[in-house]
Structure formats: structure tokens, C-alpha cells
């Protein structure tokens, strides 16, 4: 019994003097004293040698020792976890690795902005196929075969069936709307279009358009002008000036191109506006009666206006992007600059 007492005393001293700082040493302490082959277990083994009349006292002693070791272990654990910064290779104070959030493509940002302006005026979105037939893209839009105006919009044809082509404008969607709906019609048609052009800074074999169509009784050219004027003010600010120039499109009569004052040089002349102070942003006009009749719409009762703009051009003026190819090269150094909502 005395021997047991002595041993416990020695271990207590050893424990009190031990210098432990890190988690590995704490674990070694646990294994040494509290492990299955540890000191506490082995001392417990002495109990069987203790005479019966001393068993109670010895049991108490051993139990106290066990509690003492356990308490010490808990306090060492707490100290070592506070010291972790010095000892562990993991720095828990470092910020986590950020989740990369992409940004919207500038074409989508600008398209969404255009669409939302016209939605506020009551225009609904209409979509249609990019692979079209000749009728919806050309014929119905008053561009019969052999018509020289087809040269303005040369496109790509599908080998297996030359009656199919890649649409050159989203006027083909207007055709599909007129085919399926009765006036009043008020739609905008955003989408990708294709033209057979050599790729350069100013031309590409595909680009994006938003076209619009409004058909009802008594729709006039004044409505067209006011609608488009509202659009440019919302898009570019109240100071922007507009002008209309007579133009020609087979599907509208009269037709006009709309220019806005050059935002880059403030109407003073620069290479974007070719030193005129004005940049063209869209084509427009009153829907040709023949187009209405193609879809069984009575042109004596109904009139309408239509317009079409290139999203890339609006984007160029909004963000000063001067090379069309940048939009489709997927260079993140270009794309990541467009994080804001327009
Ligand atoms: N569809 C014409 C184009 O691509 C644009 C336009 C639409 C012009 C509607 C007038 C009216 O290029």
C-alpha cells in the first residue's frame, strides 16, 4: 500500500513538471497515462495485490489519481489548441479561398437592357429559329428571289436542303408572329443573326439584333419616332440627340435610319463617327402594306412600324468597344471588365 502511495506521488510530480505545448505532445501524454496500456491502467492492476481491509482506501486513492490525470489532460488540450498558431501548419485566420463569380457577357447585359426598356412600353418578347426557311427570312418580308436587296444580307445555306438558311435578321421572327397572331401586335425580337461577311473589326459572320414590331389601328410615323426617342434616352441619357435619315428597306415604306449624336466625341467628330458627329444605330420604317397582306392583315385597317438594331453597335457606344471580334474570342481579360449592370 505504501509502495502504491509512493508511486502515485511520483507520477503526480512528474505530471506537474511536464512541459507540454503542442497537440502531438498532448496525445503522447494521453497514450502514456490514459491509454489502454497506460500508467493509470497498470496502477489499477495493483489493486488485486492490496489486502482486503485496505482495498477501500486504495480504491479511493487510485480513483483520485485517475481524476487528476484526466483533469490535467483536459487542461493540456485546451492550452495546446490556443497555441495552435505557432505549431500547426494550418493558419485558421487566413481568409478562405474565394468562389469565383463570373460576369455577364456584355452582349447579354446590353440586350437585357434594350429588352427591358421596350418591355416597359408594353412590348412582349418573341423568339424564333436561327435556321429559317427562305419565306420567313426573305420572301414574306417583300424580298422575292432575284431581288437585288437580297445582296445586302447574303447568308449561309444548308447543304442538305438549300431551302434552309441561317437567318440574316430577326425580322423572320416578326414574320412568324404576324403568321400566328392577330393585331394589335407589339413584340421585340432579340436574337443571333448570320451574314456571309469577311470577319474584321467592323464585320462578323454573326451578330445580335433586337428588332421590334408594332401593328394596330392608327399607328403612325410619329409613334415610331417617339418610341425610338424614348429608347435612346433611356439607353444613353437625356442629352443624346437623334436624327432620322431617309433609307430603303424592302419591308418598310417609308424607311429611315436613325442616328444619335456621337457619345464618344460629343458630336464634335472622331473616328467612331467618321468625323460627322453622328452614329447610325438602327433601321426603321412603317411596315410595307405588302408584308401585312402576306399575313392576311388588312392594310387599310391596320398600320405598323418596325425597327431593328445591332446589339454590338449599342454595346460599342455604351462601352467603347471598337473591335467586334472581342465579343466572341472569350478572352477573360476582356469579359471580366463587365461586372456591372448597365
Ligand atoms: N431587318 C433590318 C436589318 O437587318 C432592320 C430593320 C428592321 C429595318 C425593321 C427596318 C425595319 O438589317
Q: What residue segments make up the domains of the chain, in order of their start?
A: 2-86, 106-338
pLDDT on residue 302: 98
Q: Is the pTM of this model over 0.85?
A: no
Residues 6 or more apart in contact with residue 341 via CB below 8 angstroms = 109
Ligand 1 binding pocket includes 171 (Cβ within 6 Å) = yes
Q: Which helix (H) or strand (E) holds 140?
A: none
- The pLDDT assigned to 85 comes to 54
CA–centroid distance, residue 122 to ligand 1 (Å)? 20
pLDDT confidence band for 218 (50 / 70 / 90): very high
Measure 169 CA to ligand 1 centroid, in angstroms.
7
pLDDT of 115 higher than 80: yes
Enumerate residues 6+ apart whose C-beta is below 8 A from 305. Answer: 213, 214, 219, 221, 223, 224, 227, 252, 284, 285, 286, 287
pLDDT band at residue 336, thresholds of 50, 70 and 90?
Answer: confident
Does residue 285 surpass a pLDDT of 80? yes
Q: Is the CB of 257 under 6 A from ligand 1?
A: no
Closest CA to 135 of 180, 157, 177, 165: 165
The grid cell for 122 is 408594353
Residue 309 CA to residue 318 CA, distance in Å, equals 14
Mean pLDDT of 309-320: 92
Whether ligand 1 lies within 6 angstroms of the CB of 303 is answered as no
Q: Ligand 1 in contact with 252 (CB < 6 A)?
A: yes
Q: Distance between CA 291 and CA 286 in Å, rounded?
A: 10
Q: Strand 303-310 and strand 252-261: pairing? A: unpaired
**Cell numbers representing residue 232 in the block:** 435612346
**Average pLDDT across the chain, whole number:** 91
Residue 222 has pLDDT above 90, yes or no: yes
The CA-based angle 147-192-185, given to 5 degrees, is 75
Distance in angstroms (rounded) separating the CA atoms of residues 293 and 315: 35
User: In DSSP terms, which residues pair with 117 in a beta bridge?
Assistant: none
Model confidence pLDDT, tens digit, residues 168-200:
999 999 999 999 999 999 999 999 999 998 888
Q: 325: CA distance to ligand 1 center in Å? A: 22
Cα(6)–Cα(12) distance, rounded to whole angstroms?
10
Confidence of residue 229 (pLDDT cuts 50, 70, 90): very high
Residues 43-101: tens digit of each pLDDT: 888 888 888 888 888 888 899 999 999 998 988 888 777 765 555 677 888 888 888 77
| Inter-residue contact 33 to 73 (CB < 8 Å) | yes
C-alpha of residue 14 to centroid of ligand 1, in Å: 93
Q: Are strands 124-125 and 185-194 parallel, antiparallel or unpaired?
A: parallel
- The mean per-residue pLDDT over the stretch 123-145 comes to 96
Q: Is 340 a residue whose pLDDT tops 70?
A: no
The owner of cell 459572320 is: 205
Dist CA 148 CA 155 (whole Å): 14
Q: How far is the CA of 304 from the centre of ligand 1 (A)?
A: 14
Q: How far apart are CA 157 and CA 1, in angstroms?
A: 104
Nearest to 286 by CA among 229, 225, 230, 210: 225
Q: Supply the DSSP symbol for 50.
A: S
* Ligand 1 contacts CB of residue 305 (under 6 A): no
- Residue 191 CB–ligand 1 contact under 6 Å: no
128 in ligand 1 pocket by Cβ < 6 Å? no
Percent of the chain with pLDDT over 90: 60
φ and ψ at residue 225, rounded to 5 degrees: -60, -45
- Using 50, 70 and 90 to split pLDDT, how confident is the model at 102? confident
CB 284 within 8 A of CB 306: yes
Which tops the pLDDT comparison, 301 or 152? 301
Ligand 1 atom at shortest distance from the alpha carbon of 170: 1
Is 194:164 a contact under the CB 8 Å cutoff? no
Is there a contact between 308 and 283 (Cβ–Cβ < 8 Å)? yes
| Rounded distance from Cα 154 to ligand 1 centre (Å) | 14
Please tell me the chain's helix, strand, coil percentages from 3-state DSSP, rounded to the nearest 5. 45, 20, 35
Query: Ligand 1 in contact with 256 (CB < 6 A)?
Result: no
Is CATH 3.30.365.10 correct for 106-338? no
Long-range CB contacts (< 8 A, 24+ apart) of 141-150? 141/171, 141/172, 141/174, 141/175, 141/250, 141/251, 141/291, 142/250, 142/251, 142/288, 142/290, 142/291, 142/294, 143/250, 143/251, 147/250, 149/248, 149/249, 149/250
Q: State residue 17's pLDDT score.
A: 86
Amino acid at each position: 500500500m505504501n509502495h502504491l502511495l509512493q508511486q502515485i506521488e511520483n507520477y503526480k510530480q512528474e505530471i506537474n513538471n511536464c512541459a507540454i505545448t503542442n497537440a502531438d505532445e498532448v496525445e503522447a501524454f494521453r497514450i502514456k497515462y490514459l491509454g489502454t496500456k497506460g500508467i493509470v491502467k497498470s496502477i489499477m492492476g495493483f489493486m488485486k495485490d492490496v489486502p482486503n481491509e485496505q482495498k477501500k482506501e486504495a480504491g479511493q486513492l487510485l480513483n483520485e489519481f485517475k481524476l487528476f490525470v484526466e483533469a490535467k489532460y483536459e487542461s493540456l488540450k485546451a492550452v495546446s489548441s490556443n497555441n495552435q498558431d505557432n505549431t500547426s501548419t494550418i493558419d485558421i485566420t487566413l481568409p478562405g479561398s474565394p468562389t469565383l463569380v463570373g460576369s455577364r457577357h456584355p452582349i447579354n447585359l446590353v440586350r437585357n437592357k434594350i429588352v427591358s426598356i421596350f418591355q416597359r412600353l408594353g412590348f412582349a418578347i418573341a423568339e424564333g429559329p436561327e435556321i429559317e426557311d427562305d419565306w420567313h427570312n426573305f420572301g414574306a418580308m417583300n424580298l422575292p428571289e432575284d431581288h437585288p436587296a437580297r445582296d445586302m444580307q447574303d447568308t449561309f445555306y444548308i447543304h442538305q436542303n438549300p431551302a434552309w438558311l441561317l437567318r440574316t435578321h430577326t425580322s423572320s421572327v416578326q414574320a412568324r408572329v404576324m403568321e400566328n397572331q392577330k393585331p394589335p401586335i407589339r413584340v421585340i425580337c432579340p436574337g443571333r443573326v448570320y451574314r456571309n461577311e469577311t470577319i474584321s473589326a467592323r464585320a462578323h459572320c454573326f451578330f445580335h439584333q433586337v428588332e421590334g414590331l408594332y401593328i394596330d389601328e392608327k399607328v403612325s410615323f410619329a409613334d415610331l419616332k417617339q418610341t425610338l426617342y424614348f429608347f435612346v434616352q433611356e439607353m444613353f441619357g437625356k442629352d443624346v440627340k437623334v436624327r432620322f435619315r431617309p433609307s430603303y428597306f424592302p419591308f418598310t415604306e417609308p424607311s429611315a435610319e436613325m442616328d444619335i449624336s456621337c457619345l464618344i466625341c460629343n458630336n464634335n467628330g472622331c473616328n467612331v463617327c467618321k468625323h460627322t458627329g453622328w452614329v447610325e444605330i438602327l433601321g426603321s420604317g412603317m411596315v410595307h402594306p405588302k408584308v401585312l397582306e402576306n399575313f392576311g392583315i388588312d392594310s387599310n385597317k391596320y398600320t405598323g412600324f418596325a425597327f431593328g438594331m445591332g446589339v454590338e453597335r449599342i454595346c460599342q457606344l455604351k462601352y467603347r468597344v471598337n473591335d467586334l471580334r472581342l465579343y466572341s474570342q472569350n478572352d477573360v481579360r476582356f469579359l471580366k471588365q463587365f461586372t456591372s449592370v448597365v
